[in-house]
Amino acid sequence: MSDDQVDTTRAPVSQSAGGVVTADVLVEKGEEIYVAPQRKLVWWRFRKHRLAVIGLAITILLYLLAIFSEFAAPTSRDAYNAGLSYAPPQWVHVSFSGSPHIFAYGFTTKVDPNTLERKFTVDKSHKIPLSFFVHGEKYKMWGLFSSDIHLFGAHQGQSYYPIGADQQGRDVLSRIIYGARISLSVGLIGVAFSLVLGILLGGASGYFAGKTDMVVQRFIEFIMSMPTLPLWLGFAAAIPPGWGPIKTYFAITVILSLIGWTGLARVVRGRFLQLRTEDYVLAAELDGVRKPRIILRHMLPAFSSHIIATLTLAIPAMILGETALSFLGLGLQPPVVSWGVLLSDANNLRVVSDAPWLLTPGLFVVIAVLALNFVGDGLRDAADPYSN
């Protein structure tokens, strides 16, 4: 009798809890809300988080840049012009004389005979025409398709530096766009590694509970209590210098994820412990469903959205880790280009004061990290569309 009472008081509460969240959505979606799958509910809720949506748009844009770097960058990664070392940014000008067109001024260079410093003066008589979908330097998209069309820039043979040049006269913007490929993918691959570790260890911890849980938890606490950067540095310093770029790249991502999986493991474990006692899991067990099927079919869907949110929040940490390692010279090495490698050029005050635009890769790091954090926050809030 008392059990019945508890149940009847419980039912309306849980219904109204669902109702509160969906009430405002209910107005616009009407009856659809009752039949919408979870994915749709999460998306509706995510969409209301304005910063998260902006973050998502920026993230997609950055990843598009990374995927189509050859097309998006005005020049190729290593195109250089030693005569234009540390050339300053050339601003875009719009002219309405004749048909409207855009251009940038060229410059004349002079080398100071005493200090050997190169001086740039804007040459107003020399106009470099700019346009979209311009025929510039030849490239091979993903090493497969030949083309010479660039999203924006000057024609073949004209030197144009939208945000300035580095020491060897290479275009900083193009290098940032190529660097996005490495910097952003380190986050994804590193997170994939941590996902495997996190699910295996966190899952085991939450599923077997008891002693296993105790051991894994102490292990996680141990890793979390260590300062990560010195550890990363220590392991990164052991990568043999003879390793090729691809091997080094994977070694770095593995090092980053070896220490970064702990947060994810905690989320997985917490969810496992919570879900194990849910009625529907018990029902499945009583029905004689086998363990793997219970985990994959009944429990996993319930916390996959939480995992995705945690993963999204782990990507920026990886990006920052790679940037710090490469900046300090113990991560990726040139000729590989990542945002951290580019920033390591700026690790010299003399250089920075002459060419402050070498700091712009840092701006991209900040934008990418902020955007991914917003997306992660939004996802975390939307991960459980039935709760408040």
Partner 1 sequence: MTRFVIRRVLYMIPTLIAISFVAFIIIQLPPGSFLTAYVASLQKSGQTVDSAQLAALKQRYGLDHGFVVQYWKWISGIVFHLDFGQSFEYNRPVSSLLKSRLPLTIALGACTLLFSWAIALPSGIYSAVRKYSIGDYLVTMLCFLGVAVPGFLIALVAAYLEFSVFHWSVGGLLSPQFTGAQWNLGKILDWLRHFWLPVVIIGAEGTAGVIRVLRANLLDELHKPYVVTARSKGLSERRLIGKYPVRIALNPFVSTVGWVLPGLINGEVIVSSVLGLNTTGPLLLGGLQGQDMYLAGSIILVISTLTVVGTLLSDIALAAIDPRIRVQYV
The residues in 299-358 that bind partner 1, with binding defined as CB under 8 A, are: 316, 320, 323-324, 327-330, 343, 346-347, 349, 352-353, 356
Q: How far is the CB of 202 from partner 1 (least distance, A)?
A: 18
Is 235 a binding residue for partner 1 by CB under 8 A? The answer is yes
H helix or E strand, kind and range, residue 24: helix 2-29
Q: Is 163 exposed, middle or buried (0-12, 13-18, 19+ CB in 10 A)?
A: middle
The answer to whether the bond into 334 is cis (omega within 30° of 0) is: no
Angle at 170 between CA 73 and CA 79, to 5 degrees: 70
What is the CB-side half-sphere exposure of residue 9 using CA atoms within 13 A? 5
Q: How far is the CB of 347 from partner 1 (least distance, A)?
A: 7
Q: Pick the closer one to partner 1 by CB: 62 or 343.
A: 343
Q: Out of 237, 254, 283, 296, which residue is the one contacting partner 1 (CB under 8 A)?
A: 237
Could you give the angle at which helices 300-327 and 360-382 cross, rounded to 10 degrees?
170
Q: How far is the CB of 244 from partner 1 (least distance, A)?
A: 16
The whole-angstrom separation of Cα 132 and Cα 280 is: 57
Is 244 a binding residue for partner 1 by CB under 8 A? The answer is no
Stretch of residues binding partner 1 (CB under 8 A), selected from 27-35, 80-88, 146-154, 368-376:
368-376
What DSSP designation does 299 have?
A: I
The residues in 155-184 that bind partner 1, with binding defined as CB under 8 A, are: none
**H helices of 277-359, where?**
279-286, 291-293, 300-327, 339-344, 349-354
Q: Out of 100, 157, 227, 292, which residue is the one contacting partner 1 (CB under 8 A)?
A: 227
Is 259 a binding residue for partner 1 by CB under 8 A? The answer is no
The whole-angstrom separation of Cα 314 and Cα 125 is: 51
φ, ψ for residue 11, nearest 5 deg? -55, -50
Is 261 a binding residue for partner 1 by CB under 8 A? The answer is no
Is 359 a binding residue for partner 1 by CB under 8 A? The answer is yes
Is 282 a binding residue for partner 1 by CB under 8 A? The answer is no
Q: Out of 204, 315, 365, 379, which residue is the one contacting partner 1 (CB under 8 A)?
A: 365
Q: How far is the CB of 73 from partner 1 (least distance, A)?
A: 23
Do residues 375 and 215 touch, judged by C-beta distance below 8 A?
no
Residue 124 in tokens: 């107003």
Q: Pick the closer one to partner 1 by CB: 95 or 387.
A: 387
Residue 325 in tokens: 């390692």
Q: Out of 11, 226, 254, 283, which residue is the one contacting partner 1 (CB under 8 A)?
A: 226
Q: Which residues pair with 121 in a beta bridge?
A: 108
Q: Pick the closer one to partner 1 by CB: 221 or 278.
A: 221
Q: How far is the CB of 176 from partner 1 (least distance, A)?
A: 14
Is 224 a binding residue for partner 1 by CB under 8 A? The answer is yes
Q: How far is the CB of 206 from partner 1 (least distance, A)?
A: 21
The whole-angstrom separation of Cα 215 and Cα 251 is: 27
Do residues 138 and 129 touch, judged by C-beta distance below 8 A?
no
Q: How far is the CB of 222 from partner 1 (least distance, A)?
A: 5
Q: What is the distance, to the nearest Å, from the Cα of residue 365 to the centroid of all Cα atoms in its chain? A: 9
Site residues (vs partner 1, CB under 8 A): 218, 221-222, 224-231, 233-238, 240, 316, 320, 323-324, 327-330, 343, 346-347, 349, 352-353, 356, 359, 362, 365-366, 369-370, 373-374
